[in-house]
Amino acid sequence: MSRLFVRRPSPLLAEGELTHLDRVPVDASLALAQWRAYVDAFRSRGWDIVEIAPADDQPDGVFVEDAVVMFGDVAVLCRAGADSRRGEASSVRAGVVASGIELVEIVEPGTLDGGDVLKVGRTVYVGASSRTNAAGIAQLRALLEPRGWEVREIPVTKVLHLKSGVTALPDGTVVGFEPLVDDPALFPAFAGVPEEHGTAVVVLDEGTVLMSADAPETAAAHRARGLEVVTVDVSEFEKLEGCVTCLSVRVRD
């Protein structure tokens, strides 16, 4: 059974951190409806939904992927690069521990946001971004390499997180909107996509990906590859530099 950690959006969502985008109005009610539809897309495919305790005082708390990353049966609790987000960690820690998952942590002076972590097979690409520092990457490497993972550092200057610019298809091909990618040549297999909101996919299974409804040309390209594509509207989260990957943490048992 695959599990999905999620947290419902805070009423303060519109006050979330922004780095590369200008602030525009966010509809909190629409965001909640979109979040529910996102969760239902996983539930309808047999995922077991695990809700992290609400954190209504944390505007960015819905972006649970930034707080914890799964590596097989081990979870790494991150230390947020933005001071305003460090209050999210305690409730995420409690939810992961209650689920019986082994937990290790990034500690000061390291910072690591889960949105900077892209796994392709046993390779872990980690974005050196405004939110993830060298100490955090070094700690992650020390935690993972003894467990059989290879950690590769990737520069990120054009977007908030590595996975704001690239994600990976089930066959390991890294996909991204090239104007947002510092150096596509750092990935062994890279394929450009035609739309900014087409950069992010969540692998549901070996033949299916979930992505934003705001990238129809990219969805058509993935279907031409033989993939089934599930689309969801995440417009209110995209206004805050969010995407389909950062709204959940996937635990594949």
Catalytic residues, by residue number, are: 161, 246
Distance, in Å, from the CA atom of 184 to the CA atom of 168, rounded to the nearest integer, reads: 13
| Cα 39 from Cα 210, distance rounded (Å) | 11
- The separation between the first and the last C-alpha atoms of the chain, rounded to the nearest angstrom, is 6
Strands 174-176, 166-168: pairing kind: antiparallel
Q: Reduced to 3 states, what is the DSSP secondary structure of residue 81?
A: coil
d(Cα 125, Cα 172) in Å, to the nearest integer? 12
Nearest to 202 by CA among 226, 182, 228: 228
Tell which residue, 210, 193, 182, 184, has the closest CA to residue 45.
210
85 three-state secondary structure: helix
Tell me the CA distances in angstroms from 63 to 144, 150, 228, one per residue in order. Answer: 23, 25, 25
Residue 238 tokens, joined: 């995209």
